[in-house]
Amino acid sequence: MSKISEGLERAFASRGFAEPSVEDLRDAAGVSLRTLYKYTPSRAEMVLAALENRHQRYLTRVFDNLPNEPEKALDTILSRIGKWMETETSHGCLFHAAVAADPRSQPLRALLERHKAEVATRAAAAAGLSSADTAPLVIIEGLTQAWPLRGEAAVDAAKRLAHALRSLGA
């Protein structure tokens, strides 16, 4: 149920992956322990459900209704990521955080890779670049990690890089 995933996402995003106990997660999900375990039969699956929800929300927030002109599209993406950081999280990428908290988990790695692959592909396509070009991913990752340290200045720097890349690539 999506109410559960939403609550889980909120809990992990604000308190990290280590701290919240399953009882905390139950409260955040707004259901009983029994129902929580029915949909996500272990704590590890609660993490996966939260990230699945995150993935969808992120893609919608960042990539929907982009301008058609490739010159503007990447700028818009970077602005939106700045806003996302501001409202949704104050420290880095939740997928990287989940993997960092439990680096041995294979399903978690797979989810991270799927998420980033989709982000990279969409960003490159919107910017009119080859989908194999890694540069947009580097800019986006850089912005996401630098934002907690520099705030809006990171957005500006990312945009400058995107602009420089475009004028050099042309």
Partner DNA sequence: GTGTAGGTAGAGAGATCATTCTACATCGTC
Partner DNA sequence: GACGATGTAGAATGATCTCTCTACCTACAC
* Residues that bind DNA in the complex, under the rule CB under 7 A: 1, 21-23, 30-35, 37-38, 41-44
Query: Smaller CB distance to DNA: residue 35 or 121?
Result: 35
Q: List, as own/partner pairs, every contact residues 90-98 make where C-beta atoms lie below 8 angstroms and the sequence separation is at least 24, other chains included.
A: 90/148, 91/148, 92/144, 92/145, 92/148, 93/141, 93/144, 93/145, 94/12, 94/13, 94/51, 94/54, 95/51, 95/54, 95/55, 97/16, 97/17, 98/12, 98/17, 98/47, 98/51
Query: Smaller CB distance to DNA: residue 11 or 93?
Result: 11
Residue 33 partner contact from DNA, its own copies, none using kind-dependent CB cut-offs of 5 to 8 Å:
DNA
Least distance from DNA to the Cβ atom of residue 32, Å: 3
Least distance from DNA to the Cβ atom of residue 33, Å: 4
Tokens 């720097």 appear where?
157
Q: Site mask, its own copies, residues 78-107, x = CB under 8 A?
A: -------------xxx--xx-xxxxxx---
Please enumerate in sequence order all residues whose Cβ is within 8 A of that of 21, keeping only pairs 6 or more positions apart, or say none.
none
Binding residues for its own copies (CB under 8 A): 15-19, 91-93, 96-97, 99-104, 112-113, 116-117, 120, 133-135, 137-146, 149-150, 153-154, 156-158, 160-161, 163-165, 167-169
